[in-house]
């Protein structure tokens, strides 16, 4: 089992650009959540996808959008990048019979310059 995989691992973008981050969930999981972790902070919930729909959203602007594909993989898109978007972006998957815990990927480190 490969666990949760995210790509790319590191990314450098310029202010105003757009970025797409990708996540493949753990085998057997159907729910994907995205979190933003700024330096020195705990992860903050961005949104969650289930059955290809956004099920819940945190306090993030509309510049942050996502998608879930039929194979449960997911993308996070951020438009009009700001310097403050620099962070570690974490994907978590959950689901299955018990569904009491989330498994996290290694994250994508986004740097906006």
Contact 17, 79 (CB under 8 A): no
Q: Is 102 in the site for another protein (CB under 8 A)?
A: yes
SS3 110: strand
Output 31 or 78, the one with its CB closest to another protein. Answer: 31
Contact letters for another protein, residues 16-35 (x by CB under 8 A): ---------------x-x-x
Site for another protein (CB under 8 A): which residue of 78, 87, 92, 110? 92
Give the binding site for another protein (CB under 8 A): 4, 6, 31, 33, 35, 40-45, 48, 56, 58, 90, 92, 94, 99-107, 109
């Amino acid at each position: 089992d490969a666990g949760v995989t995210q790509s790319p691992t590191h990314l450098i973008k310029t202010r105003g650009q757009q970025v797409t981050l990708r996540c493949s969930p753990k085998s057997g999981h159907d729910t994907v959540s995205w979190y933003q972790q700024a330096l020195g902070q705990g992860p903050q919930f961005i949104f969650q996808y289930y059955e290809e729909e956004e099920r819940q959203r945190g306090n993030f602007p509309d510049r942050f959008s996502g998608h879930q594909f039929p194979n449960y993989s997911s993308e996070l898109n951020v438009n009009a990048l700001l310097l403050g978007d620099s962070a570690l972006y974490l994907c978590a998957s959950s689901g299955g019979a018990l569904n009491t815990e989330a498994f996290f990927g290694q994250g994508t480190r986004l740097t906006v310059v």
